[in-house]
Amino acid sequence: MESLKVKGSYANTEEEKMGEKIGMPLIGEEFPDMEVQTTHGKKKLPEEYKGKWFVLFSHPADFTPVCTTEFVAFQRRFEEFKKLGCELIGLSIDQVFSHLKWVEWIKENLGEEIKFPVIADDTGRVAKLLGLIHPNKGTNTVRAVFAVDPDGIIRAMIYYPQELGRNMDEILRMVRGLQTSDERGVAIPANWPDNELIGDEVIIPPASDEQTAKERLKQYECFDWWFCHKKLDRMEEGK
């Protein structure tokens, strides 16, 4: 997929001089190339996860209550993400020593071993590249989520304020829905797979000509020619 090339109106920072765009990236763009220090050693993104999906999520700070609940929640769904071929990687503007001590505290006090890496962005460089700094909150990062596909393309983003913890089941649903859309050429309804109108079924893309519109009405269950839906068969569901 060809990425969108968008120029922003940013100040002449050192990052700009090095060819790095500072500010929030867009859906459909390539995830910015970067080398990061993590609790699992240095990694190059998105190269590290080439051929895989990954979810990068930022949190405001280590040793804070809401962030701690989020890390436990992500870890308890770690294997579910792995089943989708999706890796997790966290980030905050803390030193790697803080991350290491915090995940140690979580294991010792809450019984959860954090198995995904956490980026130490104590210089704030990564946060600037991804537009993560929370306005009027000092250097703290927002609770951002980036879903990145195997080609390194940003497919979805969610931004939450510091005071609101995330719903990890929605992030799982987001990855699963994007994968289903890609693989089956369908659209995903609200609250899928528990949609109020069509349950766990998926939506057929609208017809672009009269003949196809007429055929759709015969092939699928439809509310109208522009709103047709179908069940994924068992073979499709298992993939």
- Contact criterion met (CB below 8 Å) for 192 and 200: yes
One-letter amino acid at 103 equals V
Question: Both tokens of residue 68?
Answer: 């701690």
Catalytic residue at 86? no
**Of the listed 67, 86, 222, 228, which one is catalytic?**
67
Question: CA end-to-end span of the chain, whole Å?
Answer: 22
Point out the residues that are catalytic.
67
